Structure 1
Amino acid sequence: MKITFLPGTYTVDELNVTPLQDRTYCIFDLEGTGIDVAVESVTQFGAVRYKRSEGASGSSFSSLVRASKPIPASVEKLTGITNQAMSQAPLFKEVYERFCSFIGDQVLVTHAGYEYDLPMLERHCQEFGLTMFTNKVLDTKAMFTYIHPEVTDVVSTDFLIAYYDLNTEGIHRHDALADCGIIARIFECVLEEYEERGLDHFIADSSKHMKRFVIPEMYLKKENEGVTK
């Protein structure tokens, strides 16, 4: 898979996932010290197995990761992950290897993972001398954009929750495992739309552009105040 970043957008190429409907996926999410993948550090992994006929199963993976830099106060408040918890968290290498064992060779599903989770993991793997996994990865943001060219908003998690009228009351948002549950529900809605259109595949098309989330200027000067992917 090839992701090309452009000013304000990105495109995807060299990805073909078929069938979409009848397979087991692994949905995953990361939390970090901030939103800028070039400088921030992973603080939590979450993953859950998912099959459309069964939903998100009881098989899941969750672990904190010891960050290489302090977590800003605003991000502590947003995620509930504290700098104190970091002192007892396992190192990235250990957690990443356990995560790779959990996902096996299954197709992965993320939200905004093409612009956050994957670049973040690739940078961490380079820094720690680890091999980046080669699993195919679907992104609900890209999947939605492909079938809704009329939508001009940034397709964030909050946008899709509102679009599909999902009730997330009582869910601990910005916890990696809890967010996997939300991504699973969004993915279910997207798969339903694909089925209604007679689509049982996702083929990357470099002519289709996804609108990237925006890093606020105040973040670039100071710290991340909590951007929604």
Structure 2
Amino acid sequence: MHRGVRLKVTKNGENSYALTDWYIENLHGQTFWVFDLECTGGNVEAARVMQFGAVRVERGRPVPGSEFTRLVNPGQPIRPFIAELTGITDEQVKDAASLPEVFAEFTQRGAGCVWAAHSAFEFDLPMLLAECRRHGLPFPDVPVMDNRALHTYLHPDRAGVFGTAYQLAHFGIEVGTRQRHDALGDALLAADIFCANLKLCRERGVHHIQVGDEALTVQYGHLPEAAPTLEWTLPTPISRSGS
């Protein structure tokens, strides 16, 4: 049985949040859907998703051939700075599918998985929740993992912002040919980092994630465009089927 879909994230400082009610059972027996989003900005209320990227992870490693990437028509202009950063232009997305179409395929491909992202709790999940509200879409009843939070969970006495660059260096992971600020490229890197954290869990005998009322404090990098509040709760269930 999955637990972990009632987690709560509350901003408790300029660069940190408090995470409660986070439970993942049978950590090493799960299949994970590790994903990344590219968006038109950093404010989850104003920005829109313009690319999804994801890959499955089973038995502690990415599954070859499971990669997923789709462009999305965000319905708003892509600013030059974002286009330069991501390589995604208005021309590329003008005929792309809508968010509801791509999200349906994304959730179908990740069915039965625990979702995971590098900064899921501070950005990716709030962004997807905001998009679902805007489009009147139900959000799947899924547990979620986060690389920053997981690394913090494993290192309770170590302070720091455990971002992508830090964890790549910490685990000795090479970027190689994977493109940064591309949703699939970043999802593949996030998957390698996630697998390294899973290996550390196994080595330490950690088989379940259990964060209850005693909050886990997670530090994150300041996002100039981030929404002014970082507080949300993912209830259970919120799918139309109630499953």
CA shift at 1:58, angstroms?
Answer: 1.2
Cα deviations by residue, 1:2-45 (Å, 9 ceiling, x for unpaired): 22222231122223112111222111111101122231110101
Structure with more contact order per residue of length (Cα contacts < 8 Å, sep ≥ 6): 2
Question: 3-state SS of the aligned residue for 2:120?
Answer: coil
* 2:243 is equivalent to residue 208 of structure 1: no
1:73 aligns with 2:73: no
Q: 1:4 aligns with which of 2, 10, 25?
A: 10
Alpha-carbon distance change, 34 to 88 in structure 1, aligned in 2, over 3 angstroms: same
Structure 1 unaligned runs (5+)? 221-229
Equivalence for 2:233: none
Cα deviation digits, residues 51-80 of structure 1 (max 9, x gap): 135533312221111113222212111111
How many residue pairs align between the two structures?
218
Structure 1 length-normalised TM:
0.89
Does the CA-based 8 Å contact 2:60-2:199 persist in structure 1?
Answer: no
Deviation at residue 151 of structure 1 after TM alignment: 3.2
8 Å Cα contact 1:122-1:132 kept in structure 2: yes
Task: Indicate the RMSD between aligned Cα atoms, in angstroms.
Answer: 1.7
Task: Identify which of 75, 97, 121 aligns with 2:104.
Answer: 97
**Alignment match, 1:226:** none
The correspondence of residues 49-60 of structure 1 with structure 2, limited to 5 A, is 49-60=56-67
- How many angstroms apart in 1 are the aligned matches of 2:162 and 2:79? 26
In the alignment, the residues of structure 1 paired with residue 156 and residue 30 of structure 2 have an alpha-carbon distance, to the nearest angstrom, of 27
Contact 2:38 2:182 in 1 (8 A): yes
Partner of 1:224: none
1:167-178 maps to which residues of 2 (within 5 A)? 167-178=174-185
Offset, 1:94: 0.8
Calculate the TM-score normalised by the size of structure 2.
0.84
Instruction: Report the counterpart of residue 166 of structure 1 in structure 2.
Output: 173
Q: Which moved more, 1:114-123 or 1:206-215?
A: 206-215
Distance in structure 1 (CA, Å) of the matches to 2:147 and 2:106: 21
